[in-house]
């Protein structure tokens, strides 16, 4: 551990939610997962994950979703911190505090975001500053979406969604998310997908040319048409009222609408901020969606926003667009 980093008393990482612009699901694998070809986009809804040295391991969740998240050893952020400690041979307990703004059990990878944030923040707190590839390996051990929460931007995911390649696309897209009032469990949605497709030959998934062309050109209308999700029929089968949410969005100016990941959030792509406000109002006024959030994408992946050193002063805070996850991204204050 380096002496400079050993002085850190508190580190906060900010991590985005994701939407899958395309989610092709192949046949089940022997390990219970499914082969995927997916395109992730990180969107501007964030959780902040703060870590501080403590007498004992602990976790606190703040915000409107706090009651829906386990504040114990099973929390994915806690498992991430413990995994990194074990791999690095570190025995320094931390208290993790999560300010949660990403909806829970919503298909937006909020739990994965918290795990990515805990990895990055603990890595800095303990002065490890591990190579990115090492953190990505640990991220993949924790969950299929955790590597993308570290990477951010727009990326192709293969394997079980954990093998990533950045997509160099143009454009900034405006999203409206219609949140469900009851969450969906990811394994249940995959199981329903298998049930609905049983007896049919399921091909190996491959990314579509239409999606790549839309992203390359930055054409929001083409992107709206290219949105697709093989888990959508399963999510609709489990929560049939999502059909009405989709219809309401499409009738009120959305360029495209899709179940986000395993749902039940419905993600609508719109042309600009004004349309996003109109659509948000239409969705809530119609009663189709109990709550709505708006965000733009792509945004950067997990990054450190504050790192505070000991009694002799603060280490400063990273600017939002430094592009760094490590110490070079921190300014002296």
Q: By the criterion CB under 6 A, which residues form the site for ligand C5P?
A: 32-34, 36, 143-145, 160-161, 186-187, 190
Using the minimum distance from each CB to ligand C5P, give the nearer residue, 126 or 190.
190
DSSP per-residue codes, 16-64:
EEEEEEEEEEEEEPTTS-EEEEEEEEEEEEEEEEEEEE-SS-EEEEEST
Taking the C-alpha atoms of residue 100 and residue 5, their distance in angstroms, rounded to an integer, is 27
Q: Which residues in 173-212 are b (16+ Cβ under 10 Å) and which e?
A: bbbbbbbbeebbebeebbebbeeebeeeebeebebeeebb
Q: How far is the CB of 194 from ligand C5P (least distance, A)?
A: 9
Is 87 known to be catalytic? no
Give the phi and the psi of residue 61 in degrees, each rounded to 5: -115, 130
Q: How far is the CB of 234 from ligand C5P (least distance, A)?
A: 11
Among 47, 101, 145, 162, the active-site one is: 145
Q: How far is the CB of 213 from ligand C5P (least distance, A)?
A: 25
Q: How far is the CB of 33 from ligand C5P (least distance, A)?
A: 4
Among 18, 48, 123, 162, the active-site one is: 18
Kind and range of the H or E element at 119? helix 110-125
Using the minimum distance from each CB to ligand C5P, give the nearer residue, 144 or 248.
144
Using the minimum distance from each CB to ligand C5P, give the nearer residue, 40 or 190.
190
Taking the C-alpha atoms of residue 196 and residue 194, their distance in angstroms, rounded to an integer, is 6
Using the minimum distance from each CB to ligand C5P, give the nearer residue, 140 or 236.
140
Using the minimum distance from each CB to ligand C5P, give the nearer residue, 177 or 190.
190
Is 100 known to be catalytic? no
Q: How far is the CB of 93 from ligand C5P (least distance, A)?
A: 25
Q: Which residues in 100-120 are b (16+ Cβ under 10 Å) and which e?
A: bbbbbbbbbbbbbbbbbbbbb
Catalytic residue positions, numbered: 18, 145
């Amino acid at each position: 551990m380096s002496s400079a980093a050993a002085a850190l008393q508190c580190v906060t990482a900010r991590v985005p939610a994701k939407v899958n612009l395309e989610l092709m699901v192949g046949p089940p694998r022997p390990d219970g997962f499914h082969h995927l070809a997916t395109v992730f986009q990180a969107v501007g809804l964030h959780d902040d994950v703060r870590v501080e040295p403590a007498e004992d391991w602990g976790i606190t969740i703040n915000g409107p979703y706090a009651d829906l998240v386990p504040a114990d050893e099973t929390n994915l952020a806690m498992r991430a911190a413990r995994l990194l400690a074990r791999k690095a041979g570190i025995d320094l307990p931390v208290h993790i505090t999560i300010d949660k703004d990403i909806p829970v059990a919503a298909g937006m990878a909020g739990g994965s975001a918290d795990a990515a944030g805990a990895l990055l923040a603990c890595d800095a707190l303990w002065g490890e500053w591990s190579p990115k590839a090492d953190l990505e390996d640990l991220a993949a051990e924790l969950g299929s979406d955790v590597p993308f929460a570290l990477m951010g931007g727009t990326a192709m995911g293969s394997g079980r969604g954990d093998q990533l390649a950045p997509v160099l696309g143009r454009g900034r897209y405006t999203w409206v998310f219609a949140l469900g009032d009851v969450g969906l469990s990811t394994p249940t949605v995959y199981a329903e997908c298998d049930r609905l497709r049983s007896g049919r030959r399921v091909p190996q998934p491959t990314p579509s040319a239409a999606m790549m062309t839309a992203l390359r050109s930055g054409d929001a209308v083409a992107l709206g048409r290219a949105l697709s999700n093989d888990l959508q029929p399963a999510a609709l089968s489990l929560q049939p009222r999502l059909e009405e949410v989709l219809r309401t969005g499409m009738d009120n100016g959305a360029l495209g609408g899709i179940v986000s990941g395993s749902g039940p959030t419905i993600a609508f792509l719109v042309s600009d901020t004004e349309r996003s406000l109109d659509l948000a109002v239409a969705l809530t006024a119609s009663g189709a969606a109990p709550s709505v959030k708006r965000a733009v994408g792509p945004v950067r992946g997990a990054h450190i926003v504050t790192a505070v050193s000991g009694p002799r002063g603060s280490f400063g805070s990273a600017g939002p667009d430094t592009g760094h996850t490590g110490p070079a991204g921190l300014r002296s204050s």
